[in-house]
Amino acid sequence: MELRQQEMAINRSAIKLFVKKKYLLTAILFLSFFFISYIYPSTEKKLTKPSEELSLLGRYLFYDTRLSYNQTKSCASCHDPSLAFSDGYRTAVGADGYAVRRNTPSLLNVRYRGSFTWGDSGIHRFDRQLFFPFFNQHPKELGWENEQAVGARIKNIPGYVALFNTVFPKHKTPISIKNIFYAITAFEKTIVSHASRYDAYLEGNESILTADEKAGMRLFFSRKLNCGTCHVWDPKNKLIPSRFENTGLYNLDMTGDYPRSDQGLYEITKNDFDKGKFRVPSLRNVLLTAPYTHDGSVSTVTEMIDIYARGGRKIEVGEHIGDGSQNPYKSKLIKGFSISKEEKENLISFLNCLTDTGYLKNKKLLFVALNK
């Protein structure tokens, strides 16, 4: 049974206890124990080596195509440093060459995000998220069918055997899926970016932005556009809680439905009000991470602004006909607005200030190969 299915089964059992008042205390104690054990896994407690060694191991794994079942894909295949650790495709491509259903989000400053997937608000830890690319089958991403096969591959590579023994010296089985995930997530936590011009502005360098860029900034945070309510900037060492919103991209048959292939948070909660709700993405390096939205169906920033200005996207031909501005489950914040050509140019100028490629100078984040 997959990790997510196990969790849902445990949660359902606990909820049944809540319904009966006489078992309320038992249920609270059960859920508290489950939460604590999940937040503080034994792997993290046992780690004794410096984090730099751990993140180096994770870096080797992140860039290694041997981590896919047929040795065609690595984590970096979808999270390319030159594209702000995204991939430039509408949706990612798995190990067998088939498209997966969602767009690849940037990993920049992912350690400061409150959750880690487009459509599941319950994924709050890196290692839990990694189960999906490793073990999804329809379609395959990295394509593994079980944990044992991953471990067997790594155990046949002498360089990894030595590294895992060094990093996890007290573990009876140093090479395990938990430790593989732990190493990769340690590396992902080092993928940080705080050197955009907007970062400098927030630190007091007000002259670093031009008049047009400041005009775009004021527009971004204005009541008219209200972009800053959902798109919260990620300052240093501060966790940003995730928001899930329906932005009116679809409205199939004018019923509020999104394409059945992906209805967002609704797939987890089965609550109609969650139809079309997806995690609000970071705008850091937004001009480098096109195409946009959960399914990559918006090609440019200009197109995205036009959709928001209209209050939702209207699709007039094809299988997804519908007026998203009339979606009954759309966020109340997506009201539509008027925007002039000059204002739009200023807004895009401000969004360009969110770009930071300085992380590319950090060699500890870039490609490395373990050839033995």
In this structure, what CATH number is given to the domain that contains residue 295?
1.10.760.10
In order, the DSSP letters of 115-144 are --SSS-TT--SHHHHHHHHHH-BTTBSS--
Domain range for residue 141?
48-188
Burial of 332 (0-12, 13-18, 19+ CB in 10 A): exposed
Asked whether residue 298 is assigned to any structural domain, the reply reads yes
| 3-class DSSP state of 149 | helix
Q: Are residues 53 and 142 in the same domain?
A: yes
Spans in the chain with pLDDT lower than 70:
1-50
Q: Which of 354, 347, 363 is nearest to 195 (CA)?
A: 354
Q: What share of the chain is helix, strand, coil (3-state, %, to 5)?
A: 45, 5, 50
- Domain ends where: 165, 188, 211? 188
Q: Are residues 92 and 180 in the same domain?
A: yes
Q: Are residues 244 and 323 in the same domain?
A: yes
Phi/psi zone of residue 283: left (φ > 0), alpha (ψ -120 to 50 degrees), beta? Answer: alpha
Asked whether residue 357 is assigned to any structural domain, the reply reads no
Asked whether residue 372 is assigned to any structural domain, the reply reads no
Q: Are residues 273 and 168 in the same domain?
A: no
How many helices, marked H, and strands, marked E, lie in the chain? 14, 4
Q: How far apart are CA 116 and CA 125, in angstroms?
A: 7
- pLDDT of 138 reads 87
- Domain ends where: 135, 163, 188? 188
**Contact (Cβ atoms closer than 8 angstroms) between residue 98 and residue 126:** no
Residue spans of alpha helices (H) in the chain: 3-19, 24-39, 42-46, 51-62, 75-78, 126-135, 147-155, 158-167, 177-188, 197-202, 211-220, 266-269, 301-310, 341-352
- CA angle centred on 351, ends 258 and 347, rounded to 5°: 90
Per-residue tokens: 74: 């690595």
Q: What is the CA radius of gyration of the chain?
A: 22
Asked whether residue 310 is assigned to any structural domain, the reply reads yes
Asked whether residue 367 is assigned to any structural domain, the reply reads no
**Contact (Cβ atoms closer than 8 angstroms) between residue 272 and residue 266:** yes
Asked whether residue 129 is assigned to any structural domain, the reply reads yes
What is the helix (H) or strand (E) element at residue 327, kind and residue range?
Answer: none
Q: Please tell me the total count of domains within the chain.
A: 3
Asked whether residue 83 is assigned to any structural domain, the reply reads yes
Q: What is the largest CA-CA distance in the chain?
A: 65
| 3-class DSSP state of 76 | helix
First CA to last CA distance, the chain: 34
Q: Are residues 178 and 204 in the same domain?
A: no
Angle, in degrees to the nearest 10, between helices 147-155 and 158-167: 100
- pLDDT of 4 reads 41
- pLDDT of 21 reads 41
Q: Are residues 143 and 223 in the same domain?
A: no
Q: Are residues 108 and 211 in the same domain?
A: no
What is the helix (H) or strand (E) element at residue 313, kind and residue range?
Answer: none
- pLDDT of 26 reads 40
Residue type, 8: M
What one-character DSSP code corresponds to residue 106? Answer: P
Q: Are residues 335 and 218 in the same domain?
A: yes
Phi/psi zone of residue 84: left (φ > 0), alpha (ψ -120 to 50 degrees), beta? Answer: left
Q: How far apart are CA 244 and CA 233, in angstroms?
A: 16
| 3-class DSSP state of 208 | helix
Asked whether residue 360 is assigned to any structural domain, the reply reads no
**Contact (Cβ atoms closer than 8 angstroms) between residue 301 and residue 290:** yes
Q: Are residues 314 and 249 in the same domain?
A: yes
Q: Are residues 156 and 274 in the same domain?
A: no
- Domain ends where: 164, 188, 212? 188
On the CB side of 260, CA atoms within 13 Å amount to 2
Q: Are residues 175 and 259 in the same domain?
A: no
Signed CA dihedral, 2, 185, 92, 283: sign only: positive
Looking at 228-308, which runs of residues are DSSP E strands?
244-245, 278-279
Per-residue tokens: 221: 């945070």
Q: Are residues 226 and 344 in the same domain?
A: yes
What one-character DSSP code corresponds to residue 278? Answer: E
Structure confidence by residue, pLDDT tens digits, 70-83: 999 999 999 999 99
